[in-house]
Chain A
Amino acid sequence: MTSLSFELTIGILKIFSFVVPVLVSVALLVYLERKVLGAVQLRKGPNVVGPFGILQSFADVLKLLTKENLLPSSSNKFLFIFAPMLTLILSLIAWAVIPISSTYVIANINIGILYLFAVSSFGVYGVIIAGWASNSKYPFLGALRSAAQMISYEVSIGFVIITVLICVGSLNLIDIVESQKNMWFAIPLLPMFVIFIISALAETNRLPFDLPEDEATLVAGFFTEYSSISFGLFFLAEYANMILMSSLTVILFLGGWYPPIDIFPLNAIPGIFWFVIKVFLILFVFLWVRATFPRYRYDQLMRLGWKIFLPFTLIWVVITSAFLFYFGLLPN
């Protein structure tokens, strides 16, 4: 019995060691986003609260917590409250299988990548339920847009993942990273890498694909009716999802915890450092894209997903498997 409770304690500590850094980095990511946007637009960005304004996000969270949580009278109360919780829970449970280094992971399961894919596809439910339970027109339109958008881009994400899996021969995330020891998949699979990043932008509802929360046409999209902490949960979930998709990009294409070149001063640095640096770079790309590109129109978004990405990734799966088969490079 003591060993069981000991293992339980270790497990809970491990979970906290993932969740707390993720939530803190969400706060810092919001700060980073405002600073990057400020720099791109020749402004200063937040610079009042704390040194260089670094405590700005924490101040915002406190402000959200002290506000009143409004429930629209015509809404479906249970689902209205449940939706933001579901969204945040889904964006946090995905971290159970993310390997930060070759040994540090909560659950090293055989089908890690499928688990991640499943959890990220459940993310639509939070948005749809929020939009429907609000019983209001703008959230409803936002929810419909979001459902169509996320399903469309999941298809191409699925094909990109299949291409990587053909090269690895395993669904285990640690195996995926370890097969990139000599060459990151971003180099031989460069087109898939680019498509994955663009689809990740669409999957996390980020600009230029943030049509579910398009403020110019839909007020605030699916969370128009949300206030206070229930809005805060959506906000946290969106940024936690951004960090998750960046980590997934790093695991699939940028060699996880491996240094760029396997030589002495670089490989002496702990793997977790490389992992964090790469995630940070991908996140910077997310913010950079936001500052640079205008928003897509909805039909353009659908055309890109179904008529360009889907055929392209499908053909690339065939080409990759044919190449590996012909040259006898298939794993196992």
Chain B
Amino acid sequence: MFLVGSFFLFAAFLITTCIFVIFSKNPVNSVLFLVLAFLNSTFLFILIGAEFVGIILAIVYIGAVAILFLFVVMMLDIQITTLMFNIKRYIPLALLFAGIILAEIIYLTVFKTSKENLDTFIRSKNNTEQIGDVLYTEYFIDFQLSGIVLLLAMIGAIVLTHVYRPTIKRQNIESQNSTTAEDRVKLVKIKSGEGIKDD
């Protein structure tokens, strides 16, 4: 009873916050609602006993990804009225993605899952150990491939944004540390009446 109640509570919160993500006028508020949505999905994962997945979701998405979103959105100078105009343009694309995700969910829940198997699998061991057991053995290729995809995305972003400017002054700490007094200061004996010779 308690579990079912909490599921509906968190699920309702999740959907509400998602709606607010879309309809907030201020993008910063949207990102903050997105954080709440991530938090609620973490709670849902913990409710089904997948505490490792839930907390990793929180660390990665709330602790890093959403902070970077917030970081970027905060620095934009946004005209709120122009933002609201464009929302209709994206509706066909949004419906397409929603359709794909719905089809995937139906496919997975109706055709792929056998409930008894899942239950015995979940209850047999601590779920951190379960993931550790299969991640580098059964799913080794998939795991490495997803790593490579992420790496490519990161390198792509760096290549797109990085511009090498030769005029910029950079600090070379090694050369600074290895300088001695002799490199910088020279003791010159000056005879009286002659002054320093410029050489």
Chain A contacts to B: CB under 8 angstroms: 79, 109-111, 114-115, 117-118, 121-122, 124-125, 128-129, 132, 140, 143-144, 147-148, 151, 154, 171, 299, 303
Contacts and interface: CB of A to CB of B under 8 A. Distances in A.
Interface in B48-69: 51-52, 55-56, 58-59, 62-64, 67-68
B34 interface: no
Nearest to B63: A121
Contact of A109 (B35, B51, B56, B59): B51
Instruction: Please indicate which of the listed interface residues B56, B59, B128 has the most CB atoms of chain A within 10 Å of its own CB.
Output: B59
Given A111-B51, A125-B67, A117 B59 contact: yes
Given A118-B62, A299-B171, A128 B67 contact: yes
A111 B59 CA distance: 12
B74 interface: yes
B171 A114 contact: no
A140 B70 CA distance: 13
B62 A122 contact: yes
B28 interface: yes
A128 B63 contact: no
B71 interface: yes
Contacts of B6: none
B63 A171 contact: no
Interface of B: 28, 32, 35, 51-52, 55-56, 58-59, 62-64, 67-68, 70-71, 74-75, 126, 128, 171, 173
7 cross-chain pairs, A with B, having the tightest CB-CB distances, nearest first: A121-B63, A114-B55, A118-B58, A118-B59, A132-B74, A111-B51, A111-B55
Contacts of B126: 110
A293 B137 CA distance: 48
Contact of B59 (A114, A129, A144, A171): A114
11 contacts: A111-B52, A111-B55, A114-B52, A114-B55, A122-B58, A125-B70, A144-B71, A151-B64, A151-B68, A154-B64, A299-B171
B70 A171 contact: no
Contacts of B70: 125, 128, 147
A125 B35 contact: yes
B181 to A, nearest CB: 22
Contacts of B28: 132
Given A128-B70, A144-B71, A147-B67, A118 B55 contact: yes
Contacts of B52: 111, 114
B53 to A, nearest CB: 10
Nearest to B35: A125
Contacts of A154: 63-64
A148 B59 CA distance: 16
A285 B75 CA distance: 37
Contacts of A128: 67, 70-71, 74
A118 B58 CA distance: 7
Nearest to B66: A125
Contacts of B171: 299
B62 A111 contact: no
